[in-house]
A and B are shown apart, each in its own frame.
Chain A
């Protein structure tokens, strides 16, 4: 394996792992439900995407086919993350979860 591929794979792995961790820290640390929604939809999706990309590079550097299923999973996650965030936000508005006091504006009545 060429040293360039090795650097790229290692960098992507650490980048991906770090972003997944940041997403989870956001989920654990942010003050109310709506702010917590931001961590998983962005940071975690990017983190998993980076890990997928490193897997694609790793297996093509090992001389196997280009991993189309990795790309398929990444595209699927990118398409579904906003949909589930939206559904959860609607459910939260229906239940009327508490929002942070400093939040400007109001959620809609459901």
Chain B
């Protein structure tokens, strides 16, 4: 018999056995397989020509089964096996990341990532202290603004407070950081977690400052109650403000947006014109084409001059003749005739 066919026979047998032992704890499996090679070589040495390993030892499956029954002290429980598998998959990733970090640190002229991290540490301590101080001042100003109405941010006392808080925060954080070098692993982990939490909270709180678009919810309401929408202005394609417009949905029901009480006449009644079938005329605060909301100082006298005789057909814009006519036409054509309301109110 020649050496090499026997060697491949052993190797093939070994691989097959190994496959059937994959769930064994690592140390046990390692120990079994590290020596199985030489053991099988001993067996093969005594093998009569013409007989194979399988003839003598049985199938690799049964061999593996027998091995595990005798060599295994106790079966690895499922939880432990899953943890081991997870560790085995994650470990290469972690080590690769670590190697990349080391290379990066080395390229910046430092020994390794740990060295770079040690150099950067005081900077991080200052940063987290400043962030905590900024959060403190921000929250304080927000809390007191609701009560006193005083703007801390942008005022001189606020600036002094902010400076003092930042200096104190950085100082306290540096002290904690210097002390943390002597702490145990658990305590340092908690500190690191707290640092990350500070980062996350700051990112959330100061996102507006960094120009991250905020999601805003504007409540719109058909019932026309108290909403953020006070009035509705409708413009045509030429940019001209349309007056005396009714808003209807696809069922012909009036869409009531805005608050008629936004502007009231001298008797304290809403100035808005209302129609039973078509709802409010928009803009609600349009009195003779003037928009009191845009210029409150001139709105009041205009309102008192012509309390209810708002003539919708005429919209005295800077250019009356040009704009008034189309506006009147549009409102007339859009809204089916309601003479009482639209023409002679």
B is bound to A:
no
**Which residues of A line the B interface, CB within 8 A?**
none
